[in-house]
Chain A
Amino acid sequence: EAQVTQNPRYLITVTGKKLTVTCSQNMNHEYMSWYRQDPGLGLRQIYYSMNVEVTDKGDVPEGYKVSRKEKRNFPLILESPSPNQTSLYFCASSSSGTAGYGYTFGSGTRLTVV
């Protein structure tokens, strides 16, 4: 089954404790992206990647890191999480970041930083 797999689904952590949210897709998609979704603010892009070793900042990159060493994986790293990073996070992939192609989203990771 074609899918984007995120882990973990839920995570509660403490301020300052480094964490990684994993994302993997099995569709050989070139383009991958991370979003956060907060009430009233909609989906905001954190980082995206056009291909292996190519990443770029989205609208809200501060406090996050990403890497794209393999085509299928695109982990999101929070080096020193803070309470304002409490949010619902989605990983998504697409054949291409251009017109005519849609996203496949993961099921989400609900992160709480206390």
Chain B
Amino acid sequence: TQLLEQSPQFLSIQEGENLTVYCNSSSVFSSLQWYRQEPGEGPVLLVTVVTGGEVKKLKRLTFQFGDARKDSSLHITAAQPGDTGLYLCAVWGSNYQLIWGAGTKLIIKP
């Protein structure tokens, strides 16, 4: 069983639509990170959320950390083809190693 469950695993939508992807766990975390990775490239850190209930916005992307700090969501408004990629959530484990979710592969069709 994965510590971080991401859903959906795959999402393909038309340009202009809205979408939400999720990162869930039964464990409590002090912070959580979201990354986006394009094929063949390294993941790029989008945001770190730290406080329960925190909402952070990055242009059309809205990140929320659950009140209990067990889950997080990423909402994209008016998706564009440039949003295409693999979205990964991650948390630091107790042994100084980052624990990764399996990712949501997002395709935005023009």
CB distance from B46 to the nearest CB of A (A): 9
Number of interface residues of A (CB under 8 A): 27
Could you tell me if A99 and B42 are in contact, using CB atoms closer than 8 angstroms?
Answer: no
Counting contact residues on chain B (CB < 8 A from A), the size range is: 20 to 34
List of A residues within 8 angstroms of B43 by Cβ: 43, 90, 103, 105
- Measured CB to CB, the nearest residue on chain A to B47 is A102
The DSSP consensus for interface residues of chain A is: strand
A3 to B29, CA, bound (A): 28
Could you tell me if A102 and B45 are in contact, using CB atoms closer than 8 angstroms?
Answer: yes
List of A residues within 8 angstroms of B88 by Cβ: 43
- Measured CB to CB, the nearest residue on chain B to A107 is B42
Could you tell me if B45 and A103 are in contact, using CB atoms closer than 8 angstroms?
Answer: yes
- Measured CB to CB, the nearest residue on chain B to A100 is B31
Could you tell me if A90 and B31 are in contact, using CB atoms closer than 8 angstroms?
Answer: no
